[in-house]
Chain A
Amino acid sequence: MSAFNTITILTVAFLVVFLQSSADWLRAWIGVQPDLLPSLMVYAGLSSGLPTLMALALAGGLLADSLSANPPGVTILPLFLTGLAIERYRSLILRDQLYAQLVLGLAASAGVPLLTLLLLLNTEPKPLLSWFSLWQWGIMATLGASVTPLWFSLFDRLNTALNYRRVEDATFRPDREIKRGRA
Protein backbone atom coordinates (compact mmCIF):
# COMPACT_ATOMS: atom_id res chain seq x y z
CA MET A 1 0.00 0.00 0.00
CA SER A 2 1.02 3.58 -0.47
CA ALA A 3 2.57 5.92 2.05
CA PHE A 4 -0.71 7.83 1.91
CA ASN A 5 -2.48 4.88 3.52
CA THR A 6 0.11 4.66 6.30
CA ILE A 7 -0.06 8.39 7.03
CA THR A 8 -3.86 8.30 7.06
CA ILE A 9 -3.92 5.34 9.46
CA LEU A 10 -1.44 7.03 11.82
CA THR A 11 -3.37 10.31 11.73
CA VAL A 12 -6.61 8.51 12.53
CA ALA A 13 -4.85 6.65 15.39
CA PHE A 14 -3.71 10.00 16.81
CA LEU A 15 -7.24 11.41 16.66
CA VAL A 16 -8.71 8.21 18.14
CA VAL A 17 -6.40 8.40 21.17
CA PHE A 18 -7.26 12.07 21.63
CA LEU A 19 -11.00 11.34 21.48
CA GLN A 20 -10.66 8.43 23.90
CA SER A 21 -9.11 10.70 26.50
CA SER A 22 -11.21 13.82 25.96
CA ALA A 23 -14.68 12.40 25.23
CA ASP A 24 -15.81 10.95 28.52
CA TRP A 25 -19.58 10.76 28.19
CA LEU A 26 -19.72 7.02 27.54
CA ARG A 27 -17.68 6.26 30.68
CA ALA A 28 -19.93 8.56 32.70
CA TRP A 29 -22.97 6.78 31.24
CA ILE A 30 -22.10 3.06 31.28
CA GLY A 31 -18.75 3.03 33.07
CA VAL A 32 -16.70 1.93 30.06
CA GLN A 33 -14.26 3.83 27.89
CA PRO A 34 -14.02 2.09 24.48
CA ASP A 35 -10.63 1.29 22.94
CA LEU A 36 -10.74 1.75 19.18
CA LEU A 37 -7.08 1.10 18.37
CA PRO A 38 -7.51 -2.73 18.09
CA SER A 39 -10.25 -2.31 15.48
CA LEU A 40 -8.02 0.12 13.59
CA MET A 41 -5.29 -2.51 13.74
CA VAL A 42 -7.71 -4.98 12.11
CA TYR A 43 -8.08 -2.63 9.16
CA ALA A 44 -4.31 -2.07 8.98
CA GLY A 45 -3.64 -5.82 9.20
CA LEU A 46 -5.95 -6.51 6.26
CA SER A 47 -4.87 -3.65 4.07
CA SER A 48 -1.25 -2.73 4.82
CA GLY A 49 2.20 -4.25 5.08
CA LEU A 50 4.37 -5.01 8.08
CA PRO A 51 6.03 -1.55 8.27
CA THR A 52 2.61 0.09 8.63
CA LEU A 53 1.61 -2.42 11.30
CA MET A 54 4.81 -1.72 13.22
CA ALA A 55 4.30 2.03 12.89
CA LEU A 56 0.69 1.81 14.07
CA ALA A 57 1.56 -0.44 17.02
CA LEU A 58 4.43 1.83 18.09
CA ALA A 59 2.70 5.16 17.54
CA GLY A 60 -0.75 4.08 18.72
CA GLY A 61 0.62 2.24 21.76
CA LEU A 62 2.92 5.06 22.85
CA LEU A 63 0.28 7.75 22.29
CA ALA A 64 -2.34 5.82 24.28
CA ASP A 65 0.09 5.05 27.10
CA SER A 66 1.29 8.66 27.26
CA LEU A 67 -2.20 9.88 28.23
CA SER A 68 -2.76 6.98 30.60
CA ALA A 69 -1.21 5.77 33.84
CA ASN A 70 0.03 2.71 31.92
CA PRO A 71 3.81 2.27 31.83
CA PRO A 72 4.99 3.56 28.41
CA GLY A 73 5.09 0.83 25.78
CA VAL A 74 2.79 -1.68 27.47
CA THR A 75 0.16 -1.45 24.70
CA ILE A 76 2.63 -1.81 21.81
CA LEU A 77 3.13 -5.58 21.89
CA PRO A 78 -0.58 -6.56 22.20
CA LEU A 79 -1.47 -4.28 19.30
CA PHE A 80 1.33 -5.61 17.13
CA LEU A 81 0.56 -9.28 17.87
CA THR A 82 -3.05 -8.68 16.79
CA GLY A 83 -1.97 -7.00 13.57
CA LEU A 84 0.67 -9.66 12.87
CA ALA A 85 -1.82 -12.53 13.25
CA ILE A 86 -4.27 -10.85 10.88
CA GLU A 87 -1.59 -9.93 8.36
CA ARG A 88 -0.24 -13.48 8.37
CA TYR A 89 -3.60 -15.05 7.48
CA ARG A 90 -5.13 -12.25 5.45
CA SER A 91 -5.02 -14.28 2.23
CA LEU A 92 -7.54 -16.62 3.88
CA ILE A 93 -9.81 -13.83 5.17
CA LEU A 94 -12.70 -12.44 3.14
CA ARG A 95 -11.72 -8.84 3.73
CA ASP A 96 -14.82 -7.25 2.23
CA GLN A 97 -17.34 -9.38 4.13
CA LEU A 98 -19.09 -7.53 6.97
CA TYR A 99 -19.20 -10.75 8.99
CA ALA A 100 -15.42 -11.20 8.77
CA GLN A 101 -14.85 -7.57 9.78
CA LEU A 102 -17.14 -7.89 12.79
CA VAL A 103 -15.60 -11.16 14.01
CA LEU A 104 -12.04 -9.86 13.61
CA GLY A 105 -12.96 -6.58 15.32
CA LEU A 106 -14.52 -8.51 18.21
CA ALA A 107 -11.52 -10.79 18.61
CA ALA A 108 -9.00 -7.94 18.41
CA SER A 109 -10.93 -5.64 20.77
CA ALA A 110 -11.24 -8.50 23.27
CA GLY A 111 -7.66 -9.74 22.88
CA VAL A 112 -5.69 -6.49 23.13
CA PRO A 113 -7.00 -5.44 26.60
CA LEU A 114 -6.43 -8.99 27.88
CA LEU A 115 -2.82 -9.08 26.69
CA THR A 116 -2.24 -5.56 28.04
CA LEU A 117 -3.62 -6.56 31.44
CA LEU A 118 -1.42 -9.66 31.40
CA LEU A 119 1.62 -7.41 30.99
CA LEU A 120 0.35 -4.91 33.57
CA LEU A 121 -0.14 -7.63 36.18
CA ASN A 122 3.64 -8.10 36.08
CA THR A 123 4.32 -4.44 36.87
CA GLU A 124 3.63 -2.15 39.83
CA PRO A 125 1.14 -0.78 40.77
CA LYS A 126 -1.42 -3.44 39.87
CA PRO A 127 -4.40 -2.25 37.78
CA LEU A 128 -7.88 -1.94 39.29
CA LEU A 129 -9.86 -5.10 38.47
CA SER A 130 -13.17 -6.48 39.69
CA TRP A 131 -16.21 -8.34 38.34
CA PHE A 132 -17.20 -5.07 36.73
CA SER A 133 -14.12 -5.45 34.52
CA LEU A 134 -15.92 -8.31 32.72
CA TRP A 135 -18.72 -5.91 31.80
CA GLN A 136 -16.16 -3.37 30.61
CA TRP A 137 -14.37 -6.06 28.61
CA GLY A 138 -17.60 -7.20 26.93
CA ILE A 139 -18.63 -3.66 26.02
CA MET A 140 -15.14 -2.81 24.73
CA ALA A 141 -15.16 -5.91 22.51
CA THR A 142 -18.68 -5.22 21.22
CA LEU A 143 -18.00 -1.55 20.51
CA GLY A 144 -14.68 -2.42 18.84
CA ALA A 145 -16.45 -4.97 16.64
CA SER A 146 -19.14 -2.52 15.60
CA VAL A 147 -16.61 0.17 14.73
CA THR A 148 -14.41 -2.10 12.56
CA PRO A 149 -16.66 -1.99 9.44
CA LEU A 150 -16.79 1.79 9.81
CA TRP A 151 -12.99 1.97 9.48
CA PHE A 152 -13.17 0.00 6.22
CA SER A 153 -15.85 2.31 4.90
CA LEU A 154 -14.01 5.45 6.04
CA PHE A 155 -10.63 4.49 4.61
CA ASP A 156 -12.15 3.29 1.33
CA ARG A 157 -13.85 6.66 0.96
CA LEU A 158 -10.67 8.52 1.87
CA ASN A 159 -8.64 6.49 -0.61
CA THR A 160 -11.19 7.11 -3.33
CA ALA A 161 -11.37 10.82 -2.59
CA LEU A 162 -7.75 11.70 -1.94
CA ASN A 163 -5.53 9.04 -3.46
CA TYR A 164 -4.46 8.57 -7.05
CA ARG A 165 -6.41 5.79 -8.67
CA ARG A 166 -4.51 2.96 -10.23
CA VAL A 167 -4.59 3.10 -14.02
CA GLU A 168 -6.22 -0.06 -15.36
CA ASP A 169 -4.50 -1.90 -18.22
CA ALA A 170 -6.05 -0.84 -21.48
CA THR A 171 -7.76 -3.51 -23.56
CA PHE A 172 -6.27 -1.98 -26.70
CA ARG A 173 -3.49 -4.05 -28.21
CA PRO A 174 -1.66 -2.66 -31.25
CA ASP A 175 -0.90 -6.14 -32.60
CA ARG A 176 -4.62 -6.99 -32.69
CA GLU A 177 -5.60 -3.78 -34.45
CA ILE A 178 -7.55 -4.35 -37.63
CA LYS A 179 -5.89 -2.36 -40.35
CA ARG A 180 -8.36 -1.08 -42.90
CA GLY A 181 -7.69 0.36 -46.27
CA ARG A 182 -4.71 -0.30 -48.49
CA ALA A 183 -1.47 -1.43 -46.98
Chain B
Amino acid sequence: MLQKRHYVALGVIVLITLVLLKLPGRTAAQIKMAISGLFIPLFGVAGSAGQMAEQAGQAILPRKELLRQNRELRREIEEARLRLMQAEEIARENARLRQQLGMPRQYPWMSIKPARVIARDPANWWRTLRIDRGLRDGVKPNCAVFTAEGLVGRVSESSYTQAQVVLLGDPDCRVSAIIEETREAGVVAPSSSSPLDNIIVDLTHISRNAVLRAGQRVVTSGYGGVFPKGILIGHIVDYRSVGYGLYNEARVRVAVRMNALEEVWVKLPDPEPVK
Protein backbone atom coordinates (compact mmCIF):
# COMPACT_ATOMS: atom_id res chain seq x y z
CA MET B 1 0.00 0.00 0.00
CA LEU B 2 1.05 3.58 -0.51
CA GLN B 3 2.29 5.45 2.53
CA LYS B 4 1.17 8.88 3.63
CA ARG B 5 4.17 10.62 2.01
CA HIS B 6 3.30 8.97 -1.32
CA TYR B 7 -0.23 10.36 -1.13
CA VAL B 8 1.08 13.83 -0.27
CA ALA B 9 3.55 13.76 -3.19
CA LEU B 10 0.86 12.51 -5.59
CA GLY B 11 -1.54 15.19 -4.37
CA VAL B 12 1.05 17.93 -4.93
CA ILE B 13 1.83 16.69 -8.45
CA VAL B 14 -1.85 16.36 -9.40
CA LEU B 15 -2.52 19.86 -8.06
CA ILE B 16 0.38 21.38 -10.02
CA THR B 17 -0.72 19.55 -13.19
CA LEU B 18 -4.30 20.76 -12.84
CA VAL B 19 -3.22 24.35 -12.20
CA LEU B 20 -0.90 24.30 -15.24
CA LEU B 21 -3.51 22.71 -17.52
CA LYS B 22 -6.15 25.24 -16.47
CA LEU B 23 -3.97 28.30 -17.12
CA PRO B 24 -5.22 30.79 -19.72
CA GLY B 25 -3.65 30.25 -23.15
CA ARG B 26 -1.60 33.43 -23.05
CA THR B 27 -0.13 32.71 -19.60
CA ALA B 28 0.61 29.10 -20.57
CA ALA B 29 2.44 30.29 -23.69
CA GLN B 30 4.47 32.79 -21.65
CA ILE B 31 5.44 30.07 -19.14
CA LYS B 32 6.47 27.73 -21.95
CA MET B 33 8.53 30.40 -23.65
CA ALA B 34 10.22 31.34 -20.35
CA ILE B 35 11.16 27.71 -19.65
CA SER B 36 12.32 27.06 -23.19
CA GLY B 37 14.60 30.09 -22.80
CA LEU B 38 16.80 27.85 -20.62
CA PHE B 39 17.82 26.02 -23.79
CA ILE B 40 19.00 29.15 -25.64
CA PRO B 41 22.71 28.66 -24.73
CA LEU B 42 22.59 25.05 -25.92
CA PHE B 43 20.85 25.99 -29.17
CA GLY B 44 23.48 28.70 -29.64
CA VAL B 45 26.31 26.23 -29.11
CA ALA B 46 24.69 23.70 -31.45
CA GLY B 47 24.16 26.40 -34.11
CA SER B 48 27.75 27.61 -33.85
CA ALA B 49 29.06 24.05 -34.10
CA GLY B 50 26.95 23.50 -37.21
CA GLN B 51 28.22 26.74 -38.78
CA MET B 52 31.80 25.84 -37.98
CA ALA B 53 31.37 22.43 -39.59
CA GLU B 54 29.82 24.12 -42.63
CA GLN B 55 32.68 26.65 -42.84
CA ALA B 56 35.20 23.84 -42.52
CA GLY B 57 33.48 22.10 -45.41
CA GLN B 58 33.55 25.30 -47.47
CA ALA B 59 37.23 25.85 -46.70
CA ILE B 60 38.18 22.63 -48.41
CA LEU B 61 36.11 23.32 -51.53
CA PRO B 62 38.39 23.60 -54.57
CA ARG B 63 38.76 27.04 -56.18
CA LYS B 64 37.42 25.67 -59.46
CA GLU B 65 34.17 24.63 -57.78
CA LEU B 66 33.84 28.01 -56.04
CA LEU B 67 34.30 29.82 -59.35
CA ARG B 68 31.67 27.61 -60.97
CA GLN B 69 29.21 28.35 -58.12
CA ASN B 70 30.03 32.05 -58.39
CA ARG B 71 29.28 32.07 -62.12
CA GLU B 72 26.03 30.21 -61.55
CA LEU B 73 24.93 32.61 -58.80
CA ARG B 74 25.76 35.65 -60.97
CA ARG B 75 23.64 34.18 -63.74
CA GLU B 76 20.77 33.58 -61.29
CA ILE B 77 21.03 37.18 -60.01
CA GLU B 78 20.88 38.49 -63.59
CA GLU B 79 17.83 36.37 -64.27
CA ALA B 80 16.17 37.46 -61.01
CA ARG B 81 16.85 41.13 -61.85
CA LEU B 82 15.20 40.75 -65.26
CA ARG B 83 12.20 39.02 -63.67
CA LEU B 84 12.01 41.78 -61.06
CA MET B 85 11.98 44.46 -63.75
CA GLN B 86 9.19 42.59 -65.52
CA ALA B 87 7.25 42.14 -62.26
CA GLU B 88 7.64 45.81 -61.37
CA GLU B 89 6.24 46.79 -64.74
CA ILE B 90 3.29 44.40 -64.27
CA ALA B 91 2.74 45.77 -60.74
CA ARG B 92 2.69 49.34 -62.06
CA GLU B 93 0.19 48.34 -64.73
CA ASN B 94 -1.89 46.51 -62.12
CA ALA B 95 -1.89 49.56 -59.84
CA ARG B 96 -2.90 51.83 -62.75
CA LEU B 97 -5.77 49.56 -63.78
CA ARG B 98 -6.92 49.18 -60.18
CA GLN B 99 -6.92 52.97 -59.84
CA GLN B 100 -9.02 53.29 -63.00
CA LEU B 101 -11.50 50.71 -61.68
CA GLY B 102 -11.59 52.33 -58.27
CA MET B 103 -10.23 49.28 -56.49
CA PRO B 104 -7.96 49.71 -53.44
CA ARG B 105 -4.24 49.47 -54.14
CA GLN B 106 -2.37 46.27 -53.22
CA TYR B 107 0.90 46.69 -51.35
CA PRO B 108 3.68 44.13 -51.81
CA TRP B 109 4.83 42.44 -48.60
CA MET B 110 8.46 43.39 -48.44
CA SER B 111 9.05 42.97 -44.72
CA ILE B 112 10.38 39.42 -44.54
CA LYS B 113 13.11 38.07 -42.32
CA PRO B 114 15.22 34.91 -42.61
CA ALA B 115 15.23 32.54 -39.65
CA ARG B 116 17.11 29.38 -38.75
CA VAL B 117 15.32 26.25 -37.52
CA ILE B 118 16.80 25.46 -34.10
CA ALA B 119 14.54 22.69 -32.77
CA ARG B 120 11.66 20.41 -33.59
CA ASP B 121 8.78 19.19 -31.48
CA PRO B 122 10.01 16.29 -29.31
CA ALA B 123 6.47 14.83 -29.26
CA ASN B 124 5.42 12.59 -32.13
CA TRP B 125 1.83 13.84 -32.24
CA TRP B 126 2.43 17.50 -33.20
CA ARG B 127 4.07 19.19 -36.16
CA THR B 128 5.89 22.22 -34.87
CA LEU B 129 9.38 23.63 -34.95
CA ARG B 130 11.26 26.46 -33.32
CA ILE B 131 13.09 29.32 -35.06
CA ASP B 132 15.75 31.70 -33.79
CA ARG B 133 13.71 34.87 -34.35
CA GLY B 134 11.34 36.39 -31.83
CA LEU B 135 9.71 39.61 -30.71
CA ARG B 136 13.15 41.27 -30.80
CA ASP B 137 13.08 40.84 -34.59
CA GLY B 138 9.41 41.75 -34.98
CA VAL B 139 8.19 38.13 -35.22
CA LYS B 140 4.76 37.92 -33.61
CA PRO B 141 2.12 35.17 -33.38
CA ASN B 142 0.30 34.51 -36.68
CA CYS B 143 3.17 35.67 -38.91
CA ALA B 144 3.32 33.50 -42.05
CA VAL B 145 6.39 31.28 -42.46
CA PHE B 146 7.53 30.04 -45.87
CA THR B 147 10.50 29.11 -48.04
CA ALA B 148 11.20 29.65 -51.71
CA GLU B 149 9.38 26.33 -52.37
CA GLY B 150 6.15 27.30 -50.61
CA LEU B 151 4.22 27.73 -47.38
CA VAL B 152 5.62 26.21 -44.17
CA GLY B 153 3.12 27.31 -41.52
CA ARG B 154 2.52 30.15 -39.09
CA VAL B 155 4.06 31.43 -35.87
CA SER B 156 2.00 30.23 -32.91
CA GLU B 157 4.00 31.53 -29.95
CA SER B 158 6.76 34.09 -29.78
CA SER B 159 9.24 35.05 -27.07
CA TYR B 160 11.92 37.73 -27.12
CA THR B 161 14.50 35.62 -28.97
CA GLN B 162 12.67 32.64 -30.47
CA ALA B 163 9.30 31.57 -31.83
CA GLN B 164 7.32 28.38 -32.28
CA VAL B 165 5.98 27.61 -35.76
CA VAL B 166 3.05 25.26 -36.38
CA LEU B 167 3.57 23.48 -39.67
CA LEU B 168 1.04 22.76 -42.40
CA GLY B 169 -0.85 19.64 -41.38
CA ASP B 170 -0.85 20.39 -37.65
CA PRO B 171 -4.36 20.57 -36.17
CA ASP B 172 -3.57 24.13 -35.07
CA CYS B 173 -2.70 25.33 -38.60
CA ARG B 174 -5.64 25.55 -40.98
CA VAL B 175 -5.13 27.61 -44.11
CA SER B 176 -7.67 29.10 -46.48
CA ALA B 177 -6.55 28.10 -49.97
CA ILE B 178 -7.61 28.23 -53.62
CA ILE B 179 -6.86 26.06 -56.59
CA GLU B 180 -4.82 28.40 -58.79
CA GLU B 181 -6.30 27.25 -62.08
CA THR B 182 -10.02 27.19 -61.22
CA ARG B 183 -10.05 29.67 -58.26
CA GLU B 184 -12.10 27.16 -56.23
CA ALA B 185 -11.67 27.82 -52.49
CA GLY B 186 -11.13 25.31 -49.70
CA VAL B 187 -9.46 24.84 -46.35
CA VAL B 188 -6.14 23.04 -45.84
CA ALA B 189 -6.39 20.72 -42.83
CA PRO B 190 -4.47 17.70 -41.46
CA SER B 191 -4.77 14.64 -43.66
CA SER B 192 -7.65 12.43 -42.54
CA SER B 193 -6.12 9.30 -44.09
CA SER B 194 -2.54 9.73 -42.88
CA PRO B 195 -2.31 12.59 -40.38
CA LEU B 196 1.25 11.72 -39.35
CA ASP B 197 2.56 11.76 -42.90
CA ASN B 198 4.06 15.22 -43.19
CA ILE B 199 3.99 15.43 -46.98
CA ILE B 200 0.22 15.10 -47.44
CA VAL B 201 -2.56 17.44 -46.25
CA ASP B 202 -6.24 17.63 -47.11
CA LEU B 203 -7.93 20.45 -49.01
CA THR B 204 -11.47 20.24 -47.66
CA HIS B 205 -14.77 22.00 -48.28
CA ILE B 206 -14.27 22.35 -52.03
CA SER B 207 -17.48 22.92 -53.95
CA ARG B 208 -19.03 19.68 -55.28
CA ASN B 209 -19.10 21.20 -58.78
CA ALA B 210 -15.41 22.06 -58.76
CA VAL B 211 -13.29 20.75 -61.61
CA LEU B 212 -10.43 18.90 -59.97
CA ARG B 213 -7.41 17.23 -61.53
CA ALA B 214 -4.26 15.70 -60.17
CA GLY B 215 -1.33 18.11 -60.40
CA GLN B 216 -3.32 21.33 -59.95
CA ARG B 217 -1.50 23.95 -57.88
CA VAL B 218 -3.00 24.95 -54.52
CA VAL B 219 -2.05 28.41 -53.22
CA THR B 220 -3.04 30.55 -50.25
CA SER B 221 -6.21 32.56 -50.82
CA GLY B 222 -5.31 35.52 -48.64
CA TYR B 223 -8.66 35.28 -46.83
CA GLY B 224 -8.41 35.83 -43.10
CA GLY B 225 -5.37 38.04 -43.32
CA VAL B 226 -2.86 35.61 -41.76
CA PHE B 227 -1.30 34.24 -44.95
CA PRO B 228 -0.55 36.51 -47.91
CA LYS B 229 -2.27 35.60 -51.15
CA GLY B 230 -0.58 33.39 -53.73
CA ILE B 231 1.97 31.38 -51.71
CA LEU B 232 2.24 27.85 -53.08
CA ILE B 233 0.96 25.15 -50.71
CA GLY B 234 1.28 22.08 -52.92
CA HIS B 235 -0.21 20.04 -55.75
CA ILE B 236 -3.37 17.95 -55.80
CA VAL B 237 -2.69 14.21 -55.71
CA ASP B 238 -6.27 12.88 -55.86
CA TYR B 239 -9.75 13.79 -54.69
CA ARG B 240 -13.03 12.28 -53.53
CA SER B 241 -16.56 13.27 -52.76
CA VAL B 242 -17.41 13.50 -49.04
CA GLY B 243 -20.37 14.39 -46.84
CA TYR B 244 -22.76 12.31 -49.01
CA GLY B 245 -21.78 14.33 -52.07
CA LEU B 246 -22.14 17.72 -50.39
CA TYR B 247 -18.56 18.75 -51.10
CA ASN B 248 -15.22 17.50 -52.41
CA GLU B 249 -12.00 16.84 -50.61
CA ALA B 250 -8.56 16.61 -52.25
CA ARG B 251 -5.28 15.24 -50.99
CA VAL B 252 -2.48 17.74 -51.53
CA ARG B 253 1.24 16.96 -51.65
CA VAL B 254 2.96 19.76 -49.76
CA ALA B 255 5.52 21.68 -51.82
CA VAL B 256 7.98 22.14 -48.95
CA ARG B 257 10.03 19.22 -47.62
CA MET B 258 9.22 19.69 -43.94
CA ASN B 259 11.80 17.15 -42.76
CA ALA B 260 14.63 18.99 -44.46
CA LEU B 261 13.86 22.51 -43.29
CA GLU B 262 16.91 24.41 -42.06
CA GLU B 263 16.15 28.01 -42.95
CA VAL B 264 12.79 29.69 -43.45
CA TRP B 265 11.43 33.18 -44.12
CA VAL B 266 9.01 34.94 -41.81
CA LYS B 267 6.64 37.59 -43.11
CA LEU B 268 6.55 40.33 -40.52
CA PRO B 269 3.27 42.13 -39.80
CA ASP B 270 2.59 45.09 -42.06
CA PRO B 271 3.29 48.44 -40.36
CA GLU B 272 0.25 50.38 -39.24
CA PRO B 273 -0.71 52.98 -41.89
CA VAL B 274 0.21 56.53 -40.90
CA LYS B 275 -2.89 58.69 -40.53
**Chain A contacts to B: CB under 8 angstroms:** 14, 17-18, 20-22, 24, 27-28, 31-33, 35, 50, 53-54, 57-58, 62-74, 76-77, 80-81, 84, 88, 113, 117, 119-120, 123, 125-130, 132-133, 136, 140
Contact = CB atoms under 8 A, between A and B. Distances in A.
Contacts of B120: 21-22, 24, 27, 33
Contacts, number: 149
Contact of A130 (B5, B17, B196): B196
For the complex of A and B, the 6 pairs showing the least CB-CB separation, nearest first, are: A73-B20, A127-B125, A66-B35, A69-B126, A20-B122, A125-B171
B228 interface: no
Contact of A67 (B20, B36, B170, B196): B36
Contact of B118 (A22, A35, A126): A22
Contacts of A63: 35, 38-39
Given A18-B39, A28-B259, A62-B35, A68 B123 contact: yes
Contacts of B36: 66-67
Interface in B1-60: 2, 5-6, 9-10, 12-14, 16-17, 19-21, 23, 28, 31-33, 35-36, 38-39, 42-43, 46
Nearest to A117: B125
A131 B52 CA distance: 41
A31 B196 contact: yes
Contact of A72 (B28, B121, B164): B28
A85 to B, nearest CB: 10
B100 to A, nearest CB: 46
Contacts of B164: 69
A21 B10 contact: no
- The bracket for how many chain B residues form the interface is 35 or more
A73 B128 contact: no
15 contacts: A17-B39, A17-B122, A21-B39, A21-B121, A22-B118, A22-B120, A32-B124, A58-B16, A67-B130, A69-B128, A71-B21, A72-B23, A73-B19, A125-B172, A128-B195
A17 B39 CA distance: 9
B218 interface: no
B119 interface: yes
Contacts of B166: 69
B82 to A, nearest CB: 37
A108 to B, nearest CB: 16
Find the residue from B16, B128, B259 having the highest chain A CB count within 10 A. B16
Contacts of B10: 80-81, 84
A129 B195 contact: yes
B111 interface: no
Contacts of A58: 13, 16
A24 B9 CA distance: 35
B28 A70 contact: no
Interface string B204-246: 0000000000000000000000000000000000000000000
B166 to A, nearest CB: 7
